[in-house]
Structure 1
Amino acid sequence: MNKASKASRAEAEVLAELRPGQSVELLKELHILTREGRLNQDSRRKLKQVYHLFQFIEKLLREVPGEGAEASLADHGAGKSYLGFIIYDLFFKQGGAGHVYGIETRAELVEKSRALAARLGFDRMAFLNLTVAESATAAELPPRIDVVTALHACDTATDDAIAFGLAKQARFMVLVPCCQAEVAACLRETKALALSRTPLAELWRHPLHTREIGSQLTNVLRCLYLEASGYQVTVTELVGWEHSMKNELIIARRTGQRKASAAERLRELLEQFGLTSLLETRFRLA
């Protein structure tokens, strides 16, 4: 096989992995594809995660009135905005309405995303250099947002996205939490006094276990908080564990019906683990 044939075959293999209508130019700009149009193992894994998440988000967007033709989506803790750009490219680009907002605290990433959107003609994308507190009331954002996303938002950034979604009465929230240290730090500090003389204390005796238990407990608390705030919650895997260890996908659908039982369980869990201070910060109940 000559060099031209090999290049043609490699290109065909890459194109076969892309979703129909996906802009190759965009993927090159995002450095998911190389300048030669190739995929390495790391970028293939990243693309697989984003595509799989897009499948969930697309279904939710189509539940917005008008099949999502005028939907609004806010990507919280957007970073380099891989997710926002791909959602716009595959869903919003073909329509004449609808808007994607990327919210990010790092100004340099916001500027780069703005420049890329301008180069690609993605004129219904806006990138905002805002904190969560600012974004909830910022004039640049509409009073309500249809879909809030947060992909691998580190530490308390997922909680920030939830707070934003509640403030904006989001129809849907799609969250993939990443590392979380806040609850683990509280466990180390308080030693979960109510459980300290029981066998359950073994769950956080070692620092590694404390971190993992803290992360798992945080996501359980987040789900209860969403249910107590009027959302139906589904928890599933994003992709196989071989692709990412941060694999939990939380999908929240607004019903407007607050579950008193979820609020009660949330309070009880916080009390058992010595975390009641979080009722004044992360998990404020109505």
Structure 2
Amino acid sequence: MKTPKSKPLATPALPPEIDPAQSVELLKELHILTRDGKLNQDSRRKLKQVYHLFQFIEKLLGELPASAQGLTLADHGAGKSYLGFIVYDLFFKALGAGHIYGIETRPELVAKSQELAARLGFERMSFLNLSVAESTQSDLLPARIDVVTALHACDTATDDAIAFGLQKNARAMVLVPCCQAEVAACLRQNKALNGTKTPLAELWRHPLHTREIGSQLTNVLRCLYLEAWGYQVTVTELVGWEHSMKNELIIAKYTGHKKRAAAERLASLLAEFGLGSLLTTRFQLPQDSVAA
């Protein structure tokens, strides 16, 4: 009597949320997938955000002209580099050219990302232990970066990413702002003075409203600033509000057409809200963009 041969174990089916082109090994190393290929609720939420953001980035990258050196992308506040690794895996890996730079201040996360990239053979990825502001002056990055991303870069780190993009002549920027506190602090500081100048000060009289108005105003100013410097700006949701309250996605594509009207509106808004000092620091406009 013949002993029946045992059937090979079937490969477990991946969750339907996983892109079929995605490296399963990468997702396991990023702890998005468990070792047996499962998704928990937190990983499902995180993956949905990153995949949704990738769709926007992929479209932007596809619209850019090709070159022998390939495209470059700088990811600011990279953290564990979920975004950078997935963009590389789904877009850059097959191109044979181009480079992704992950910029992060925590050295232990930089070291882990460097080790993972080496292990997976992601040769055209670099991870730099720098702040966003430091990266603007660093010679470890090329003179030009095609796409700048900043996913949940906290408070003024988003503004630093914009400054970096302007200096590097970025063709596109993809920004998900987070914890916008600087403008709210300025509103709070000037609250008594503004209350006597404009009834608009009622919008930020209460502390909760100060925080909310400060956050909203910050992103409005950023959009006008980008338009003033020659970018076409789109604002949309990253994912549904049930997944994240930090939900605003700003996409800026360079057109070269600097909008004088945007610069004038930005300057007027800063004056109206008692924030004129930010014109000399955070929101320096192109020369001759605002009428005297």
Please report the TM-score for the alignment, with normalisation by the length of structure 2.
0.90
Deviation at 1:239, TM superposition (A): 1.2
Give, in whole Å, the separation in 2 of the partners of 1:209 and 1:250. Answer: 23
Question: Do the aligned partners of 2:195 and 2:202 also contact (CA within 8 Å) in 1?
Answer: no
The answer to whether the aligner puts 1:154 opposite 2:154 as a matched pair is: yes
The answer to whether the aligner puts 1:12 opposite 2:13 as a matched pair is: yes
Question: Do the aligned partners of 2:172 and 2:252 also contact (CA within 8 Å) in 1?
Answer: yes
Name the larger-Rg structure: 2
Give, in whole Å, the separation in 1 of the partners of 2:115 and 2:122. Answer: 10
- Which residue identity lines up with residue 12 of structure 1 in the other structure? A
SS of 2:150's equivalent in the other structure is: strand
Give, in whole Å, the separation in 1 of the partners of 2:42 and 2:197. Answer: 45
2:285 aligns with 285
2:35 aligns with 35
Give, in whole Å, the separation in 2 of the partners of 1:137 and 1:182. Answer: 23
2:183 aligns with 183
RMSD: 1.9
1:267 aligns with 267
2:111 aligns with 111
Question: Do the aligned partners of 2:203 and 2:213 also contact (CA within 8 Å) in 1?
Answer: yes
SS of 1:12's equivalent in the other structure is: coil
Within a 5 Å distance, the mapping from 1:1-286 to structure 2 comes to 11-12=12-13, 14=15, 16-66=16-66, 70-191=70-191, 193-194=193-194, 196=196, 198-286=198-286
Q: Which runs of 5+ in 1 are unaligned?
A: 1-6
- Which residue identity lines up with residue 91 of structure 2 in the other structure? F
1:3 aligns with none
State how many pairs are aligned.
278
- Which residue identity lines up with residue 164 of structure 2 in the other structure? F
Give, in whole Å, the separation in 2 of the partners of 1:197 and 1:257. Answer: 35
Higher helix share: 1
Question: Do the aligned partners of 1:132 and 1:164 also contact (CA within 8 Å) in 2?
Answer: yes
Deviation at 1:238, TM superposition (A): 1.1
Deviation at 1:276, TM superposition (A): 1.3
Change (3 A) 1:47 1:8: farther
Structure 1 moving runs of 4+ over 3 Å: 192-199
Percent of pairs with identical residues: 78
Q: Which runs of 5+ in 2 are unaligned?
A: 1-8, 287-292
Give, in whole Å, the separation in 1 of the partners of 2:281 and 2:106. Answer: 23
Question: Do the aligned partners of 2:78 and 2:150 also contact (CA within 8 Å) in 1?
Answer: yes
Deviation at 1:62, TM superposition (A): 0.6
- Which residue identity lines up with residue 13 of structure 2 in the other structure? A
Deviation at 1:194, TM superposition (A): 4.3
Question: Do the aligned partners of 2:14 and 2:38 also contact (CA within 8 Å) in 1?
Answer: no
Give, in whole Å, the separation in 1 of the partners of 2:279 and 2:273. Answer: 13
SS of 2:13's equivalent in the other structure is: helix
